[in-house]
Amino acid sequence: MATRWGICTAGQISNDFTVALKTLPPEDHQVVAVAARSLARAQEFAQKHDIPRAYGSYDELANDPEIDVVYVGTIHPKHLPVSLLFMNAKKNVLCEKPLAMNLREVQEMVAAAKLNNIFFMEAVWTRFFPASMEISRLLAQGEVGEVKMVRADFGVSIAHIPRTVEKELGGGALLDIGVYCLQFILMVFNGERPECIQATGVCLDTRVDEAMVVTLRFSRGRMAVCRCTVTTELPNDAVISGTKGSIRVPEHMWCPTTLLVKKKETQYPLPEPHLPLNFTFSTGMRYEAEEVRQCLLKGLKECPRMTHADSALLAEIMDEARRQVGVTYSQDCQ
């Protein structure tokens, strides 16, 4: 039986997620409804993607009995209230990254998921790419020896987009794109809590971070560096350096399709989309969608590759980095 998806919002990321779902077998994944704040937008989205039902409110989607899981693609500050709406309606939820604005909100969401006994996961799609799976396998086998240093960069010129720079929209380099670098580092170190977090950065006039560098020190003298910015291009690669060699994601570290392992290159091509995409390699969201399906089939309430503890640690590190740089949101004062 197919996993029946509800799509929350008719924005760009929801478009790409829906396109990605169409690269999977229809007997496994079906989009049965979409909701937006405007019924006209929901209807336009539904027509574009051949979705049977369109709703002009999130409440209607939450009350639809024929939905197994809801994909939440709202702006960052809305992740908490919208996810809670669906969880309290006993709907399983896949919520876009960052899961919430801070650790307190993440903890509230996790508590609600447990209370309602539903599956809940942060949509960190990077972790489910075949290349990421291969990285985890190689590290577990000791292919590059003991990992001593990890570097992850993500920088793009997107400061002209309001949601990336406006404080009330949850803007800032760290929450929007730096989260990918930090989650990659935590994946490499298998969810270990760093012993020390040091951050420096510069802020825009909107009082969110334009650029940030976060350095993490782990046990046994192992280090990691995350660099992110919304005003210039960075190499956008990631390098894992061990005592016996290195693993490199040479480009697009947030959606890896190529690996260099001890200088040997392997490609992991993605399926072509049937409709235009808004973001790089978005058909790769198929992997997180299939992971959700497999978790639901197994009766799991959280994903082993992106646990609730992983999301909480990620939020905790971002909270501390923001504190050191002086970036606060209204949600931090509640």
291 falls within a domain: no
Do 154 and 71 share a structural domain?
Answer: no
Q: How many domains does the chain divide into?
A: 2
pLDDT tens profile 23-60: 999 999 999 999 999 999 999 999 999 999 999 999 99
Which of 79, 99, 125 is the endpoint of a domain? 125
pLDDT band at 334 (very low <50, low <70, confident <90, very high): confident
Q: What is the dihedral of CA 302, 88, 11, 170, to 10 degrees?
A: -80
User: Using CA atoms, how far apart are residues 165 and 52, in angstroms rounded to an integer?
Assistant: 35
Q: At residue 329, what is the residue type?
A: Y
- At 267 the pLDDT is 98
205 falls within a domain: yes
Give the residue-averaged pLDDT of 85-94.
98
User: DSSP string spanning 266-282?
Assistant: EE-PPPPPSS--SSTTG
Give the pairing of strands 147-155 and 222-229: parallel
Do 98 and 15 share a structural domain?
Answer: yes
pTM (two decimals): 0.97
Predicted confidence (pLDDT) at residue 263 exceeds the cutoff of 90: no
CATH of the domain at 207: 3.30.360.10
91 falls within a domain: yes
153 falls within a domain: yes
pLDDT tens profile 177-196: 999 999 999 999 999 999 99
User: Using CA atoms, how far apart are residues 186 and 214, in angstroms rounded to an integer?
Assistant: 13
Do 149 and 114 share a structural domain?
Answer: no
294 falls within a domain: no
321 falls within a domain: yes
Do 231 and 191 share a structural domain?
Answer: yes
- At 12 the pLDDT is 97
Which of 125, 143, 160 is the endpoint of a domain? 125
Quick count: other Cβ atoms within 10 Å of Cβ 66? 11
Do 210 and 88 share a structural domain?
Answer: no
Do 30 and 53 share a structural domain?
Answer: yes
User: Using CA atoms, how far apart are residues 226 and 306, in angstroms rounded to an integer?
Assistant: 19
Which of 94, 125, 156 is the endpoint of a domain? 125
61 falls within a domain: yes
* Domain coverage including residue 57: 3-125
Do 121 and 137 share a structural domain?
Answer: no
User: Using CA atoms, how far apart are residues 70 and 232, in angstroms rounded to an integer?
Assistant: 34
221 falls within a domain: yes
CATH of the domain at 81: 3.40.50.720
Do 152 and 46 share a structural domain?
Answer: no
Give the residue-averaged pLDDT of 307-325.
98
Give the pairing of strands 258-261 and 245-249: antiparallel
Do 64 and 212 share a structural domain?
Answer: no
Quick check: bond before 98 cis, omega within 30? yes
User: Using CA atoms, how far apart are residues 197 and 242, in angstroms rounded to an integer?
Assistant: 21
Do 188 and 239 share a structural domain?
Answer: yes
